[in-house]
């Protein structure tokens, strides 16, 4: 079984234009930007007015069985569920809880509803984008409920997408996760992006705490050669049972592109690739 553990909702149908608009061409000549442009151009796509159809096409081309769909904000929770309804056998919904104080919002009530009625399997936390540290007190109730209901918590750590104007890095050091896991030792936490640029911190946490995992989302296309070195370090410390594949692309073609980049990593055995590309996720999600 192959699983993409880190995917977001896509919007634009014209991927080339979207990438150019998103980065405003100011990243022309940057390695990651040129690699993304070239990679998209090499991926065969389909003509359609339905973005979900296009995404499902590239999921199939990438030979993925399941995709964990992550909301970027509380406003995207409903959209994630709508995508799940289109392909419930493929999409696994996560949920974004309130990440700042909100009047009239009962976190326990909305989370229980999302679990019981919508079948969410985890939480996606983006609080560094709200200029809050990973262990901000506003999230304590969500962590407690996630531990009780055995939800997986996937946390944005490390650098944001290039061009992000907020000072996300200031709040995104994975070291803050130690405070969370000390309070909620049964909570299963995934450190997104291997915590880059704090990869050693992320791996140290994964060594120390059994319920902490790392994903390699966006590293496949941002820095494939560095990713190979990171995986060597990870393998030395934690083996390959706590590493999860994630695409985290900006356009649908990047799902397929990310899988291709990862499968080209030469030093991993087929068994290790299979673990990272799905078997670890399958076990974590109890599929």
Burial, 101: exposed, middle or buried (Cβ in 10 Å; 0-12, 13-18, 19+)?
Answer: exposed
* Confidence at residue 25, expressed as pLDDT on a 0 to 100 scale: 76
Q: pLDDT at position 21, please? A: 87
Please state the pTM of the whole predicted model: 0.96
Q: Between vectors from CA 132 to CA 126 and to CA 134, what angle results, nearest 5°?
A: 65
CB atoms within 10 A of CB 85: 11
Closest CA to 36 of 278, 254, 243: 254
pLDDT tens-place values along the chain, 287 residues long: 999 999 999 988 899 999 988 887 789 999 999 999 999 999 999 999 999 999 999 999 999 999 999 999 999 999 999 999 999 999 999 999 998 877 777 888 999 999 999 999 999 999 999 999 999 999 999 999 999 999 999 999 999 999 898 999 999 999 999 999 999 999 999 999 999 999 999 999 999 999 999 999 999 999 999 999 999 999 999 999 999 999 999 999 999 999 999 998 888 999 999 999 999 999 999 99
| CA pair distance 128, 169, nearest whole angstrom | 7
Quick one: pLDDT at residue 64?
A: 98
Alpha carbon distance 39, 253 (integer Å): 8
Residue 116 exposure: Cα atoms within 13 Å on the Cβ side: 6
Distance between alpha carbon 70 and the CA centroid of its chain, in Å? 7
Q: pLDDT value at position 23?
A: 87
**Among 128, 123, 125, residue whose Cα is nearest residue 164:** 128
In this structure, the chain runs to a length of 287
**What is the extent of the structural domain holding 264?**
3-284
Total domains, the chain: 1
The CATH number covering residue 258 comes to 3.20.20.140
Cβ–Cβ < 8 Å for 253, 39: yes
**Angstrom distance (rounded) from CA 26 to CA 17:** 14
- Asked if 250 contacts 14 with a C-beta cutoff of 8 angstroms, the reply is no
* pLDDT for the residue numbered 102: 76
């Amino acid at each position: 079984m192959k699983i993409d553990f880190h995917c977001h909702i896509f919007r634009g149908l014209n991927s080339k234009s979207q990438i150019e608009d998103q980065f405003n061409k100011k990243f022309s000549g940057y390695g990651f930007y040129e690699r993304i442009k070239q990679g998209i151009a090499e991926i065969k796509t389909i003509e359609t007015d339905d973005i979900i159809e296009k995404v499902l096409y590239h999921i199939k081309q990438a030979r993925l069985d399941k995709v964990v769909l992550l909301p970027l904000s509380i406003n995207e929770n409903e959209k994630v569920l709508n995508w799940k309804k289109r392909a419930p056998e493929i999409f696994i919904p996560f949920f974004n809880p309130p990440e700042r104080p909100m009047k009239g919002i009962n976190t326990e009530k909305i989370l229980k509803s999302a679990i019981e009625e919508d079948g969410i399997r985890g939480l996606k936390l983006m609080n560094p984008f709200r200029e809050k540290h990973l262990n901000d007190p506003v999230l304590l109730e969500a962590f407690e409920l996630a531990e009780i209901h055995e939800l997986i918590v996937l946390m944005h750590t490390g650098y944001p997408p290039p061009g992000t104007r907020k000072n996300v890095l200031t709040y995104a050091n994975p070291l803050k996760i130690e405070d969370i896991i000390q309070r909620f030792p049964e909570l299963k936490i995934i450190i997104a992006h291997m915590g880059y640029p704090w990869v050693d911190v992320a791996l140290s946490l994964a060594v120390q705490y059994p319920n902490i995992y790392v994903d390699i989302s966006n590293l496949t296309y941002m820095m494939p050669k560095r990713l190979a070195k990171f995986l060597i370090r990870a393998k030395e410390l934690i083996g390959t049972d706590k590493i999860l594949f994630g695409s985290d692309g900006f356009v649908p073609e990047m799902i397929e592109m990310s899988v291709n980049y990862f499968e080209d990593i030469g030093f991993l055995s087929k068994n290790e690739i299979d673990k990272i590309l799905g078997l670890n996720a399958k076990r974590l999600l109890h599929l």
